[in-house]
Amino acid sequence: MKYYLIELHAHTKHSDGDFTTHELLDAALAFGYDAIVITDHNTTAPLEEVKTWDSNELVILSGMEWTTFFGHLLVIGARKVVDWRKATIETIDSSLEEIKAAGGLTGIAHPFSIGSPMCTGCHWDFHVQDYGLIDFIEVWNRLNPDEDFRSQQAYEMWVDLLNQGFRISCSAGRDWHRQEDETDSTALTYVGASADYADVLLANLKKGNYYITLGPKSHLSMKQAGKTYVMGDELRVGDSTLKITLEPTEQAKLKAFNFVGEYLVVWQNDQIIACETIEEGIEKELSLELVPGYLRIEIFGRGKGHSNKRLVISNPFYIGKA
């Protein structure tokens, strides 16, 4: 399995971005992305222009950012466009069910962004009854998410849903509208997959086999009874081994921020069960006793002149009851 760099939230001139479709794809390739989802507001028009782009080096997944009065919803990989105009603050679940029936993934974009009148619908106000219909929460949004208090609010929302028993992932979204200043950092999403085909990447996104990072790259898996598990997999209670390797930031722009991982934290449900130092390029193994629920990993370190920064957040491994 390999980790592929994917951007899940990007815009063109078909909504409020400055890029043409081809300019966005060229910029994504230059940055180092392996895949991108174009999520213009309430339109999939860029998909027609994708067909005339003269490169096959970037995997392009279909997407849309539902833009409503009550929240923005990222829809990825749906076989048809589901009408966002039908959704009301109390009936969002039926729309989510329709998206799921069309094979789409659903993600809450920037749930704690300022709302109306500054940004109509940017704050998430929908009354979701079943968060099992939501695939991910965008925990890190836009530029310098490590410096934005709303990132912590979104992180806490995600963790609270995990602790309620929902199997839900966290994501990072560049919310890419235009070329950015070199002094601004952006978070990354790495998805694990056996190959960089659109359907394979989509399946692993659905599973939750991805992590988010401010720069450093990681390889992580769990071993139990001779079998290897990835994020989103379900293990059983009992003995297991976490294997994790940390690698330096690959993107030229992000190297300037000097993000360096120094220690990892292992969460099992709402408890920290391990805290260990970690060094780049050296595989770390931890023996763990699993209990029902979930297990996830975070890596902390230094960057931008500060210490104890949360640099990497994994999505959960799940542990069954028996």
Say if residue 100's pLDDT is above 70. Answer: yes
Query: Tens of pLDDT along 223-252?
Result: 999 999 999 999 999 999 999 999 999 999
Where in the chain are the domains?
2-212, 215-319
Say if residue 322's pLDDT is above 70. Answer: no
Stretch 203-223: mean pLDDT, rounded?
98
What class is the 215-319 domain? mainly beta
Query: Tens of pLDDT along 52-90?
Result: 998 999 999 999 999 999 999 999 999 999 999 999 999
DSSP reduced 3-state for 85: helix
Task: Give the H or E element holding residue 172.
Answer: strand 169-173
CATH of region 2-212: 3.20.20.140
Stretch 288-292: mean pLDDT, rounded?
98
For the chain, percent of residues with pLDDT exceeding 70: 100
Query: Tens of pLDDT along 120-158?
Result: 899 999 999 999 999 999 999 999 999 999 999 999 999
Say if residue 6's pLDDT is above 80. Answer: yes
Distances (CA, A) of 259 to 77, 118, 247, 300: 32, 33, 11, 9
Do 57 and 33 form a contact (C-beta atoms < 8 A)? no
Pairing of strands 210-213, 306-314: antiparallel
pTM over 0.75: yes
Distance CA 20, CA 308 (A): 39
For residue 237, the model assigns a pLDDT of: 98
The structure tokens listed for 37 are 């989802």
